[in-house]
Amino acid sequence: MEELEHTCPLPRTTLIEPAIFTPETSCECRAPHEKLTVEQARLGTPVDRPVRIYADGIFDLFHSGHARALMQAKNLFPNAYLIVGVCSDELTHKYKGFTVMTEEERYEALRHCRYVDEVLRDAPWTLTQKFLEKHKIDFVAHDDIPYSSAGSEDVYKHIKEAGMFVPTKRTEGISTSDLITRIVRDYDVYARRNLQRGYTAKELNVSYINEKKYRLQNQVDRMKEKVRTVEEKSKHFVYRVEEKSHDLIQKWEEKSREFIGNFLELFGPDGTWKQMFQERSGRMIQALSPRGSPSSSPPREFSPSRSPSPPSRWAMPRTSPPSSPKGASASISSMSEGDEDEK
C-alpha cells in the first residue's frame, strides 16, 4: 500500500470508464518529480514516472479538431499522462465570448475522449508557475500560433521561454467558430428543422410571423418531396414498361421470323405444299387418262378361213373433217348427189 501512495496516477489502459477529475487540493503524484527535458521525455521514463502533459482550452461544441489535438499531445512521448484543463463559463464569457455548451457539458465531453487521462475543471486563463508546480506539469501542449488574450500578445510566451512548450498542429477546415458560422448562415433552415421536430417558436425565439412562414415553407418542401417521389416512381415505372416493351418486341420479332420461315417452307417455290399439289395433280391426270395399247404388240393376222368382208355399200369414205362451215356444206351436197346417181 505504501508503494501505491508514492506513485503517480498511471495513464489509462482501459476505456470502460471516463477520465477522472483532478482533485481540488493538490496533485496525488508523490513520486520524485525532477524536471525533464524534451529529449529525456522522448527517450522514455519509468512506468511510475509518466510525463505529465497539460493541454487547456474551451472545447465548446467538441469536434474532431479538438480530438486530434489531444491525440497529438497524448502521443508526444512514450509514457505520457494527459491532463486537460477546461475553462469555466465565467472566464470564457469574460475573455472570449458566449459558449453554446455549458461548462458541465464541456467537462463531460472531455471526460469521454479516449486520449484524456484527467480533466481539470475551472482551469486558469493564464498559467502561473505556482499552478504548474501544484499539478507537477512537465510540458504544456498547444498549437504554435501566438494566442493573444487578456492583454497579452501570447499567453504561452513564458511557457515557451521556459522550454516547457510542445507544439501540436491545428486541423484545417473545422473549428467551433466555423460550426457556429454554418448555423448562423443557415439560420432559417435550422429554425424550420427544429420547428418540424416539435420545438416551439418560443423555445427558438422565433416571432409569430416567422413561425407561420417557416411552417408554410415546411409544407411546401414536403409537397415538393412528394412530387419528387412520384416522379421517381413514374420514371421507374416507365423504365420497367420500356424494358417489358423491348422484351415483347424482341419476342414478337423472333416469332415473326419463325412464322415467315415456316410459311416459306410450306408455300415457297420449293415448299412442301407445292410438292404435295404436284403429286396429287399427277395422280389425278393418271387416273383420268385412258390406258393406250402397248406399242410393241404384234400386228393382228387374219385367219385364212375368213375372207375380208366386202365393203358395204353404205360405207362412208373417210374424209378429213371440214376445216370451215363452207367445207362442211360442200361435203353434205356431194353426199346428196351421190345418192341420186345410185337411184
Please give the pLDDT value at position 108. 96
pLDDT for 6 = 42
Q: Which residues pair with 299 in a beta bridge?
A: none
Q: Report the percentage of the chain scoring pLDDT > 70.
A: 76
Nine-digit cell string for 340:
341420186
Q: Which CATH architecture has domain 20-168?
A: 3-Layer(aba) Sandwich (3.40)
pLDDT score of 83 more than 60: yes
- Convert the pLDDT of each residue in 154-178 to its tens digit: 999 999 999 999 999 999 999 999 9
- Computed over every residue of the chain, the mean pLDDT equals 81
Task: Quote the pLDDT of residue 31.
Answer: 56
pLDDT value at residue 332: 47
Nearest to 48 by CA among 83, 10, 14, 5: 10
> What pLDDT does residue 302 have?
46
Span 305-322, average pLDDT: 49
Per-residue cell: 97: 465570448
Among 6-15, 87-96, 231-240, the range with the most confident prediction by mean pLDDT is 87-96
**CA 236 to CA 244: how far, in whole Å?**
12
What integer is the mean pLDDT of 1-28? 65
3-state per-residue secondary structure call for the chain = CHHHHCCCCCCCCCCCCCCEECCCCCCCCCCCCCCCCHHHHHHCCCCCCCEEEEEEECCCCCCHHHHHHHHHHHCCCCCEEEEEEECCHHHHHHHCCCCCCCHHHHHHHHHCCCCCCEEEECCCCCCCHHHHHHCCCCEEEEECCCCCECCECCCCHHHHHCCCEEEECCCCCCCHHHHHHHHHHCHHHHHHHHHHCCCCHHHHCCCHHHHHHHHHHHHHHHHHHHHHHHHHHHHHHHHHHHHHHHHHHHHHHHHHHHHHHHHHHHHCCCCHHHHHHHHHHHHHHHHHCCCCCCCCCCCCCCCCCCCCCCCCCCCCCCCCCCCCHHHHHHHHHHHHHHHHHHC
Predicted pLDDT at 7: 54
Residue 84 · residue 74 · CB < 8 Å = no
pLDDT the model gives residue 277? 72
pLDDT confidence of 147, banded at 50, 70, 90?
A: confident
5 — pLDDT class (breaks 50, 70, 90): very low
In the predicted model, is pLDDT for residue 142 greater than 70? yes
List every span in the chain annotated with CATH 3.40.50.620: 20-168
- Worst-scoring range by mean pLDDT, 82-96, 229-243, 279-293? 279-293
Q: Are 29 and 133 in contact (CB under 8 A)?
A: no
Higher pLDDT, 55 or 277: 55
Checking if the pLDDT of 320 tops 70, the result is no
> pLDDT (tens digit, 9 = 90+) per residue, 236-282?
888 788 778 878 888 888 888 888 877 777 776 766 766 777 777 77
What integer pLDDT is reported at residue 58 of this predicted model?
A: 96
Among 8-17, 143-152, 323-332, top mean pLDDT goes to 143-152
Chain center to CA of 125: 49
Q: 8-17, 277-286, 320-329: which range is least confident on average?
A: 320-329
pLDDT at residue 17, as a whole number: 83
